[in-house]
Amino acid sequence: MGKFQHLDALLTDFTNTNLAGCACAVARHGEILYEGYHGYANLDKEIPVSPETVFRLFSMTKVVVCTAAMMLFERGRFLLNEPLHEYIPEFKNPQVVKTKPNGEVHIEAAKSPILIKDAFCMTAGLPYHFVESESARKLRDVIQELKHKHGKYGLLTEVKAVAQVPLAFEPGTQWLYGYGHDMVGALIEVVSGKPLGQFLQEELFDPLGMTSTGYRFRDNIQERMAACYTRTADGSLEEIPGFLDEHHQADSLYESGGVGLYSTLGDYLTFTQMLANGGAWKGEQIIGRKTIDLMRRNHLNETQLADFRNSYQAGYGYGLGVRTMMDPAAGHSNSSIGEFGWTGALGTWTSIDPSEGFSVVYLHQLFPNMEEYHHLRVRAAAYGCL
C-alpha cells in the first residue's frame, strides 16, 4: 500500500480553506488502512470532528436502502421487471406530462407501467419536489395536502398519494434524479411488512454493529451531530439549521428511502466493507456477492446515460441505486471498473471497489457541498495508495 500522508495533507488543506471539518477512512479486506478526523464538528463550540461525530447522510441513505431492497430480491420477494403496481396498486395506470410544440402542457395515459427496476434506476419519471417542472409542482401539491391532512405521516402513506402525480416522461425512457428510492423504500415496507427503519435495523444495522446509524435521535446522537455550514459572500462559514432534522425527532413517522439516515464514519465504513468483500461480515453473509454485482452493473441505455452524466459523473453509469464506473479513462479516475457508490447533499461520499476489497468513506456538512472539488480529489488520493 502507498503512503496516506498525501490524503491526510489533502484533508487538512480542506479544513484550512473550505470546511469546518471532515472525516475520512479507507479500508481493505476488513482492515482499516487510514482513519482521519480534521477540523471542527462545531466551530462555535470548538468541538473537534472525532470518531463519535454523527453526520447527516442525505442521499448516501440510498445505497443502504437499495442494498436492503436487493436482500429481499434475492429472497424471491419481488422481481425487477415486475410492475410496481403489483405491490403498490395506486401506481396502476400512471399518467405522463406531454408538451405540444406550441408549449401547451397536457396529461396523457402512460404507454407502459412503472417497473420496479425503474424505481431503482431513477427511470420512473418522478422528480424531487424542489425542482421546477409540471411533475414537481404536482408533487409539491400532494405533499402539502398530506401535511395539511395528516400533520405527521409515514413513507408508505406519501408514496401511495404520490402515485397520482403525472410522470415527467414515459416510464423507462429517460433518467431523472428524484423520488425513485422512496418508492423502493415503500416497496420494502409492503414486502417485508415492517417499517423501513425497523427492517434496516434488523437486517443491516444490528448484524453489522452500526450502533450510531438510524433515522431517529436516541441516546446522545443529537449532541454528537456535526453542525451544517454555508459559505457567505465574504468567504466565512456560517452555521445553518440541519436540513430535514425534524424527521430525526422521536415523534416523527417519516422514514425516507432516499434521504434521512445519519451515521458515523466507522459505521458507514463497516457497511461499505461488507459490500466490498462479497456481502459478508464477520462470518455472516448479509447479501449475496452476485447480487452486489447486479447492483453495480450499469442499467442505463445510451439515451439515459446522456441524462445521467455530467463532469462529476464522468465515466460512470448508473446501477440499482448506485453510480458505477464504466470507463476510468473517461472519468479521469484511478479507480476500477465496477467501483460504485453515491453522494449526499451536504458533502458525504463513498466509493466501494469489490475488485480490490477496498472502500473509502468521506464526510463533511457544507451546502452547497462542493462535491466535485472535494470528492474527486479524495478519490484520486485514496486510490493512489493501492
Q: Which pLDDT tens digit goes with each residue over 343-352?
A: 999 999 999 9
Helix (H) or strand (E) holding 222: helix 221-224
Burial track 266-287 (b if 16+ CB lie within 10 A, e otherwise)? bbbbbbbbbbbbbbebeeeebb
Closest CA to 72 of 253, 352, 286: 286
Give yes or no: residues 212 and 290 share one domain.
yes
Do 66 and 99 share a domain, yes or no? no
Please check whether residue 294 is in contact with residue 370, taking contact to mean a CB–CB distance below 8 angstroms.
no
pLDDT tens digits along 308-336: 999 999 999 999 999 999 999 999 999 99
Same domain for 84 and 232:
no
| DSSP code string of 65-82 | HHHHHHHHHTTTS--TTS
Mean pLDDT of the chain: 96
Total domains in the chain come to 2
Q: Is the peptide bond before 368 cis (omega within 30 degrees of 0)?
A: yes
Q: Of 192, 208, 242, which residue is a domain's last?
A: 192
- What is the Cα–Cα distance from 38 to 126, expressed in whole angstroms? 38
Do 221 and 311 sit in the same domain of this protein? Answer: yes
The residue whose grid cell reads 479521469 is: 332
Residue scoring higher pLDDT (1 or 148):
148
Angle of CA points 87, 89, 91, to nearest 5°: 105
Of the candidates 141, 166, 192, which is a domain's last residue? 192
For the stretch 222-272, pLDDT in tens is 999 999 999 999 989 999 999 899 999 999 999 999 999 999 999 999 999
Within this chain, do residues 252 and 284 fall inside the same structural domain, yes or no? yes
Query: What number of CA atoms fall less than 13 Å from residue 175's CA on the CB side?
Result: 21
Indicate if 310 and 346 belong to the same structural domain. yes
Question: Are 172 and 200 found together in one domain?
Answer: no
**Which of the residue ranges 231-235, 252-256, 288-292, 301-305 would you say has the lowest mean pLDDT?**
231-235
2 pLDDT exceeds 70?
no
218 and 111 within one domain: no
pLDDT on residue 303: 97
Contact between 363 and 341 under an 8 Å Cβ cutoff? The reply is no
**Local confidence band at 338 (pLDDT 50, 70, 90 cut-offs):** very high
pLDDT of residue 130 exceeding 90: no
Calculate what percentage of the chain has a pLDDT beyond 90: 95
CATH number of the domain encompassing residue 252: 3.40.710.10
Give the tens place of pLDDT for each residue, 70-119: 999 999 999 999 999 999 999 999 999 998 888 788 999 999 999 999 99
User: Count of CB atoms within 10 A of residue 289's CB?
Assistant: 13
Domain hosting 242: range is: 5-72+195-383
Q: Is residue 218 left, alpha or beta, with left meaning phi > 0 and alpha meaning psi from -120 to 50?
A: beta
The residue type at 68: A
CA distance 352 to 350: 7
Please state, for a pLDDT cut of 70, what percent of the chain lies above it: 99
270 and 297 in a single domain? The answer is yes
SS3 state of residue 119: helix
Same domain, 224 and 317: yes
Residues 120 and 248 placed together within one structural domain of the fold: no
